[in-house]
């Protein structure tokens, strides 16, 4: 305030002197005087202004710093308070068991590939101390010690690792569970109905268990967005008839029949599954030949595609002859984990390549 | 004499029945195909008649279904039915034991082990139209036959009892090896079990082309030695005194039967009951004279297996059941019924 | 008529010598009985004669022809054997069993000719088994069944008939029935019949010629009364018996 007033006074003085300009000399000396006066006044004003500014700035800075410090302190206090109030948590797992997590689990053993993928997707990979032979994604998972197969894991190895939490999924066996409980290890069985919602539920449970709900929610939202994107892209397009090969030849002909979740994914991705009337994965070659699907999807494992191309019955199919026998990474479809949306997208890309250029 | 006239008629009737069964099996399936089309497609494959048949108007998909799916299965069922039933007759005659059947000397266990090893090691190749599993099963079956026979051999003679015991012992050993392999490779268990249950769903013409000659040769051998088998029924010493070289006869027949069974098992897995039930049933109807028993058993075996396969591939359409399940479900109760009704079986 | 003879025949089984240097002649057209204790080698010798077993050294000759050089299918046209207890698997009719005896004379795919049919009927009548022709073999009694087996052997049109203890397992009625039948065949058909017997009295009563074996050797052979004597029986069987004349027939018999 003071500086503004001083400036105004100086400007008034200047205008006053200019306004009153009768004598040249007076004007000149007045001008010089005014100039000097203005200079002095400006100098003073600037000095004062700078002083004030610095003062104020320092005040503000200190205020801000204090505010931030207080905020952080409050946050930490809140966090600690939150943590201390987040655990212990208890919930009902997929097998209707009451599971109690006392504190944040720092070491995990995963007994399912889908769970392993989820652990890494939630940025908790360093906590994984044991996984099954089949947990092959992401690649870093392979560096973790394997404790055996899905159905018959090496119980001694698991107990030796003494993990804070063991997570099982769909292939959980009661005997394994009993032994683990006997050893006093906390075990959770996370399963849900085979569907996207089921995956979201598991992800959400994992988020809660490890107190990383933000990350898990982010993941869920991303998957939902991906799914919606696919659904929108194929919304108005004509469905392509498709057959999904699970088994063929000497093992009998097996496919994703109408009662399976893969069937749903095929339909969601803009496909029309010719085996929708089948049940229990069992199908037969006659029906495949008669329905002659536009696309045939098989696994990219090994020589599946090459063998199919040479198998009587399959090799005469239009899809095979037209080069529409396509491969997919079947882990994307069969694992109820974070890559399920990728699987849906993969199917859609195979069936409607032109929409995804 | 009366019995003989009846039996000759029986053979003719059964030949007719076999043809009828083949036609019906061609027509029935998980996908409905018009009767006229199936018949035309069938006739088109018969030399001479096919010059009068034009199939160009039939949808290629339907042609594929008949030629690629149904006909190979039906031919396979026919050949395997004949092989198993014929082997059953021969085993029951040579071993003089009504409980004998094609798998009694361990062939099924050997084949199962061969297939399991191939599945588990993941060896995969095709040779002459046969997959590695088929070949593995075949080798397993034949090796078992050689081993069992050699264990039971004492110099030039092979006592029947020792042969049977050797077969049972080797069977147990091989089966436990299969179980061991299953438990070490749990993820392959479904494939292994599916194979052992027996299925004709994967039979293709390439399979038929490989097995039909050895099987037919074996069948001809069975028919050729009908009279000798009859004489064997009087006892081995009596048979020798009547001029039958028992040792050579046994060898020829057991090898022929084992080879036919090995080929069958290699392309279809283990189909049970046919080799046991059909000879027994036919023996009750036409008597133990192999002149009639063998041909009628061959025909009955073919008909039974074609019918079973047709049921297996239509009853839960579009799904399929393994044929071994059907033969067991039909065979076991029927066998119990036979036992109940005819105590003469226990006397042989 | 055919003559069988064995010359210095030895036979061992499992390193144990069963027959030592047997030299014997079974006269053509005669009814010869072979007797001896258990383990004396009777059945083994019968099997050697019918080529069921092969001697270690030397041979059995039929009409001076070494049977080793004869195929069993040819041998079956001249020699038939009735084993001790035949086990027939499965239920054949009596007629079918007898007809099987024609096998050595029939080519593989040949149908039964009229000659075959007539012959079968004839032997069945002779053995008194024709009335059972449509019955199942297992439905017959032991004696009836044995007659059927003999009929089957006869259907082979043999010149030599070997019977291994044909009546041991039969009741007395059937024993006498079968022995009489064999004797009758011997008389009417001029066959060389060799029968292994346990019963010393049957040897005395029915045989033309008796061979007594002991421990794998021929102890004595010749006319029945010369062979079946008190001393010989004591030496071979180690029992004391008396030989007496049958009160009515005056035929010698062994009495314990």
Q: What is the pTM of this model?
A: 0.82
The 3-class secondary structure across chain A, one letter per residue, is CHHHHHHHHHHHHHHHHHHCCCCHHHHHHHHHHHHHHHHHHHHHHHHHHHHHHHHHHHHHHHHHHHHHHHHHHHHHHHHHHHHHHHCCEEEECCCCCEEEECCCCCCEEECCHHHHHHHHHCCCHHHEEEECCCCCCCHHHHHCCECECCCCECHHHHHHHCCCEEEECCCCCHHHHHHHHHCCCCEEECCCCCCHHHHHHHHHHHHHHCCCHHHHHHHHHHHHHHHHHHHHHCCCCCCEEEEEEEECHHHCCEECCCCCHHHHHHHHCCEEECCCCCCCCECCHHHHHHHCCCEEEEECCCCHHHHHHHCCCCCCCHHHHCCCEEEECCHHHHCCCCCHHHHHHHHHHHHCHHHHC
Pull the structure tokens for residue B103: 């798998």
Domain map of chain C by residue range? 27-48+70-255
Cross-chain residue pair A286–B29, CB shorter than 8 Å? yes
Asked whether residue B201 carries a pLDDT value surpassing 80, the answer given is yes
Q: Are A47 and A7 in contact (CB under 8 A)?
A: no
Q: How far, in Å, are A248, C73, C116 from residue B240 at the CA level?
A: 52, 9, 21
Residue B157 C-alpha, separation from nearest chain C C-alpha, in angstroms: 12
Quick one: A237-356 is in which CATH superfamily? Nitrogenase molybdenum iron protein domain (3.40.50.1980)
Residue B58 pairs in a beta bridge with: none
DSSP secondary structure letters along B16-85: HHHHHHHHHHHH-SSS---HHHHHHHHHTTSTTGGGG---TTS-HHHHHIIIIIIHHHHHHHHHHHHHHH
Q: Is A44 on the interface with B (CB under 8 A)?
A: no
C25, burial (CB in 10 Å: exposed 0-12, middle 13-18, buried 19+)? middle
B114, burial (CB in 10 Å: exposed 0-12, middle 13-18, buried 19+)? buried
Q: Are B284 and B224 in contact (CB under 8 A)?
A: no
Task: Tell the residue number behind the tokens 């009068």, with chain if given.
Answer: B52
Q: Are C160 and C191 in contact (CB under 8 A)?
A: yes
Interface probe, candidates C12, C79, C103, C106, chain B, greatest B C-beta count within 10 A? C103
The 3-class secondary structure across chain C, one letter per residue, is CCCEEEEEEEEEECCEEEEEEEEEEECCCCEEEEECCCCCCHHHHHHHHCCCCCCCEEEEEECCEEHHHCCHHHHHHHEEEECCCCCCCCCCEHHHHHHHCCHHHCCCCCCCCHHHHHHHHHHHHHCCCHHHCCCEHHHCCHHHHHHHHHHHHHHCCCCEEEEECCCCCCCHHHHHHHHHHHHHHHHHHCCEEEEECCCHHHHHHHCCEEEEEECCEEEEEECHHHHCCHHHHHHHHCCCCEEEECCCCCCEEEEC
Mapped onto helix, strand or coil, the DSSP state of residue B176 is helix
Q: Which helix (H) or strand (E) holds B153?
A: strand B153-154
Rounded Cα distance between B145 and B140, Å, is: 9
pLDDT in tens, B284-310: 888 899 999 999 999 999 999 999 999
* The pLDDT of residue A192: 85
Selected residues 273-332 of chain B with any CB under 8 Å from a CB in chain A: 313, 316-320, 322
Q: Is B187 on the interface with A (CB under 8 A)?
A: yes
Query: Which chain A residues touch B126 with a CB distance below 8 Å?
Result: 310
- For range C237-241, the mean pLDDT: 90
Q: Are B324 and B77 in contact (CB under 8 A)?
A: no
* The pLDDT of residue C85: 75
Using alpha carbons, select from B91, B238, B247, B90 the residue that is nearest to residue B167: B91
Query: Which chain C residues touch B1 with a CB distance below 8 Å?
Result: 95
* The pLDDT of residue B46: 79
pLDDT in tens, C80-130: 999 887 777 778 899 999 999 999 998 877 888 899 999 999 999 988 899
Residue B188 — pLDDT band, cuts 50, 70, 90? confident
Pull the structure tokens for residue A261: 């979740």
Domain map of chain A by residue range? 2-82, 89-225, 237-356
Closest-CA residue of chain B to C96: B289
Selected residues 140-199 of chain B with any CB under 8 Å from a CB in chain C: none
Rounded Cα distance between A357 and A342, Å, is: 16
Task: Tell the residue number behind the tokens 């204790």, with chain if given.
Answer: C37
Rounded Cα distance between C182 and A53, Å, is: 149
Residue C60 — pLDDT band, cuts 50, 70, 90? confident
Rounded Cα distance between B20 and B12, Å, is: 13
* The pLDDT of residue A49: 56
Contacts of B242 by beta carbon, 8 Å cutoff, 6+ apart: B231, B234, C76, C80, C100, C101, C103, C104, C156
Question: Bigger pLDDT: B35 or A3?
Answer: B35
Q: Percent of chain C, pLDDT > 70?
A: 100
Selected residues 28-47 of chain B with any CB under 8 Å from a CB in chain A: 29-31
* The pLDDT of residue A173: 81
Question: Bigger pLDDT: B341 or C130?
Answer: C130
Cross-chain residue pair B61–A289, CB shorter than 8 Å? yes
Rounded Cα distance between B272 and B197, Å, is: 9
Give the fold, CATH level 3, of A89-225.
Rossmann fold (3.40.50)
Domain map of chain B by residue range? 2-345
Interface probe, candidates B99, B226, B241, chain C, greatest C C-beta count within 10 A? B241
pLDDT in tens, C201-234: 999 999 999 999 998 888 988 999 899 999 999 9
Using alpha carbons, select from C156, C105, C153 the residue that is nearest to residue C127: C153
Mapped onto helix, strand or coil, the DSSP state of residue B155 is coil
Closest-CA residue of chain C to B244: C73
Give the fold, CATH level 3, of C27-48+70-255.
Rossmann fold (3.40.50)
Selected residues 65-124 of chain C with any CB under 8 Å from a CB in chain B: 71-77, 79-81, 83, 86-93, 95-97, 100-101, 103-104, 106, 108
* The pLDDT of residue A6: 52
Please state, rounded to an integer, the average pLDDT across all residues of chain B.
Answer: 88
Q: Please tell me which of the candidates C71, C89, C156 has its beta carbon nearest to residue B242.
A: C156
Asked whether residue B337 carries a pLDDT value surpassing 70, the answer given is yes
Contacts of A162 by beta carbon, 8 Å cutoff, 6+ apart: A107, A185
pLDDT in tens, B94-145: 988 888 889 988 999 999 999 999 988 887 777 777 888 889 999 999 999 9
Q: How far, in Å, are B151, B152, B247, C122 from residue B155 at the CA level?
A: 11, 10, 12, 42
Cross-chain residue pair A250–B61, CB shorter than 8 Å? no
Rounded Cα distance between B22 and C214, Å, is: 68
Rounded Cα distance between A48 and A40, Å, is: 12
Cross-chain residue pair B234–C100, CB shorter than 8 Å? yes
Selected residues 131-160 of chain B with any CB under 8 Å from a CB in chain A: 131, 133-134
Query: Which chain B residues touch A280 with a CB distance below 8 Å?
Result: 319
The bridge status of strand C57-62 relative to strand C242-245 is: unpaired
Q: Percent of chain B, pLDDT > 70?
A: 96
pLDDT in tens, chain A (357 residues): 555 555 555 555 555 544 444 444 444 545 555 555 555 655 665 566 556 655 665 566 566 655 665 566 555 555 555 555 688 888 888 888 888 888 899 999 999 999 999 999 999 999 999 999 889 989 999 999 888 877 778 888 999 999 999 999 877 788 888 888 888 898 999 988 888 999 999 999 999 999 899 999 999 999 999 999 999 999 889 999 999 999 888 778 899 999 999 999 999 999 999 999 999 899 999 999 999 999 999 999 888 898 899 888 899 999 999 999 999 999 999 888 999 999 999 999 999 998 886
Query: Which chain B residues touch A290 with a CB distance below 8 Å?
Result: 31, 61-62, 65
The CATH number given to B2-345 is: 1.10.3470.10
* The pLDDT of residue B50: 76
Mapped onto helix, strand or coil, the DSSP state of residue B4 is helix
* The pLDDT of residue B294: 96
User: How high is the ipTM of this complex?
Assistant: 0.85
* The pLDDT of residue A21: 41
């Amino acid at each position: 305030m003071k500086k503004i007033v001083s400036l105004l006074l100086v400007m008034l003085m200047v205008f006053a002197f200019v306004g009153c300009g009768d004598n040249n000399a007076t004007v000149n000396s007045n001008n010089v005087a005014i100039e000097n006066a203005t200079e002095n006044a400006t100098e003073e004003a600037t000095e004062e202004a700078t002083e004030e500014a610095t003062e104020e700035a320092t005040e503000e800075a200190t205020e801000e710093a204090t505010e931030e410090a207080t905020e952080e302190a409050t946050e930490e206090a809140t966090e600690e308070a939150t943590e201390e109030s987040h655990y212990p948590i208890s919930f009902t797992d997929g097998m209707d068991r009451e599971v109690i997590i006392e504190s944040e689990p720092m070491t995990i053993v995963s007994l399912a590939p889908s769970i392993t993928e989820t652990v890494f997707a939630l940025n908790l990979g360093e906590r994984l101390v044991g996984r099954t032979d089949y947990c092959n994604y992401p690649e870093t998972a392979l560096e973790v010690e394997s404790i055996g197969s899905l159905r018959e894991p090496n119980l001694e190895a698991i107990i030796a690792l003494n993990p804070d939490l063991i997570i099982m999924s769909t292939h959980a066996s009661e005997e394994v569970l009993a032994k683990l409980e006997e050893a006093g290890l906390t075990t959770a069985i996370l399963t849900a109905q085979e569907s996207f919602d089921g995956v979201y539920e598991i992800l959400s449970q994992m988020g809660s268990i490890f107190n990383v709900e933000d990350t898990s929610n982010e993941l869920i939202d991303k998957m939902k967005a991906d799914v919606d994107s696919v659904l929108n892209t194929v919304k108005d397009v004509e469905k392509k008839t498709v057959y999904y090969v699970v088994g063929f030849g000497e093992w009998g002909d097996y496919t994703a029949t109408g009662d399976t979740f893969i069937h749903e994914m095929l339909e969601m991705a803009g496909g029309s599954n010719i085996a929708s009337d089948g049940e229990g994965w069992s199908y037969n070659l006659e029906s495949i030949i008669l329905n002659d699907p536009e696309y045939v999807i098989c696994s990219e494992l090994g020589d599946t595609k090459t063998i199919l191309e040479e198998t009587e019955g399959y090799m005469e199919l239009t899809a095979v002859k037209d080069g529409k026998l396509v491969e997919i990474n079947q882990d994307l479809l069969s694992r109820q984990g974070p890559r399920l949306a990728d699987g849906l997208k993969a199917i859609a890309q195979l069936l409607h390549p032109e929409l995804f250029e | 004499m009366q019995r003989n006239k009846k039996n000759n008629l029986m053979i003719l009737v059964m030949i007719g029945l076999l043809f009828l069964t083949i036609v019906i099996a061609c027509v029935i399936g998980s996908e409905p195909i018009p009767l006229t089309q199936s018949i035309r497609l069938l006739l088109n494959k018969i030399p001479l008649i096919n010059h009068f048949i034009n199939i160009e108007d039939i949808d290629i998909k339907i042609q594929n279904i008949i030629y690629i799916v149904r006909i190979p299965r039906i031919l396979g069922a026919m050949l395997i039915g004949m092989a198993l039933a014929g082997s059953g007759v021969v085993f029951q005659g040579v071993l003089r034991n009504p409980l004998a059947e094609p798998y009694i000397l361990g062939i099924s266990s050997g084949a199962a082990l061969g297939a399991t090893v191939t599945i588990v090691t993941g060896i995969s190749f095709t040779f002459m139209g046969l997959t590695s599993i088929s070949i593995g099963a075949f080798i397993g079956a034949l090796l078992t036959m050689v081993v069992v026979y050699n264990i039971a051999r004492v110099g030039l003679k092979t006592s029947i009892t020792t042969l049977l015991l050797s077969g049972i012992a080797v069977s147990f050993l091989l089966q436990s090896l299969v179980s061991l392999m299953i438990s070490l490779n749990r993820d392959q268990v479904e494939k292994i079990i599916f194979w052992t249950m027996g299925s004709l769903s994967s039979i293709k013409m390439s399979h038929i082309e490989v097995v039909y000659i050895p099987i037919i040769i074996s069948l001809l051998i069975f028919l050729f030695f009908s009279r000798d088998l009859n004489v064997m029924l009087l006892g081995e010493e009596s048979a020798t005194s009547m001029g039958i070289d028992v040792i050579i006869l046994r060898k020829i027949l057991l090898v022929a039967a084992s080879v036919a069974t090995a080929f069958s098992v290699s392309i279809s897995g283990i189909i049970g009951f046919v080799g046991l039930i059909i000879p027994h049933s036919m023996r009750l109807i036409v008597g133990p004279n192999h002149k009639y028993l063998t041909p009628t058993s061959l025909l009955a075996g073919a008909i039974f297996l074609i019918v079973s396969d047709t049921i297996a591939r239509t009853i839960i359409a579009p799904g399929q059941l393994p044929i071994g399940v059907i033969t067991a479900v039909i065979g076991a109760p029927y066998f119990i019924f036979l036992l109940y009704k005819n105590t003469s079986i226990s006397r042989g | 008529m055919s003559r069988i003879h064995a010359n210095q025949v030895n036979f061992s089984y499992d390193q144990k010598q069963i027959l030592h240097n047997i030299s014997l002649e079974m006269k053509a057209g005669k009814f010869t009985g072979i007797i001896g204790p258990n383990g004396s080698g009777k059945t083994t010798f019968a099997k050697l004669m019918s080529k069921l077993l092969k001697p270690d050294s030397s041979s059995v000759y039929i009409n001076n022809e070494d049977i080793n050089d004869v195929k069993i299918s040819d041998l079956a046209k001249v020699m038939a054997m009735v084993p001790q207890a035949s086990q027939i698997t499965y239920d054949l009719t009596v007629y079918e069993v007898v007809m099987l005896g024609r096998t050595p004379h029939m080519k593989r795919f040949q149908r039964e000719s009229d000659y075959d049919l007539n012959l079968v009927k004839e032997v069945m009548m002779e053995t008194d088994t024709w009335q059972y022709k449509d019955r199942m073999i297992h439905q017959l009694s032991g004696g009836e069944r044995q007659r059927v087996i003999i009929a089957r052997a006869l259907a082979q049109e043999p010149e030599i008939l070997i019977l291994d203890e044909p009546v041991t397992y039969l009741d007395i009625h059937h024993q006498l029935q079968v022995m009489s039948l064999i004797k009758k065949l011997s008389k009417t058909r001029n066959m060389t019949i060799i029968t292994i017997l346990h019963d010393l009295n049957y040897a005395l009563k029915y045989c033309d010629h008796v061979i007594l074996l002991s421990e794998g050797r021929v102890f004595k052979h010749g006319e029945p009364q010369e062979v079946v004597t008190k001393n010989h029986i004591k030496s071979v069987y180690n029992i004391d018996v008396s030989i007496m004349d049958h009160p009515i027939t005056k035929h010698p018999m062994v009495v314990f």
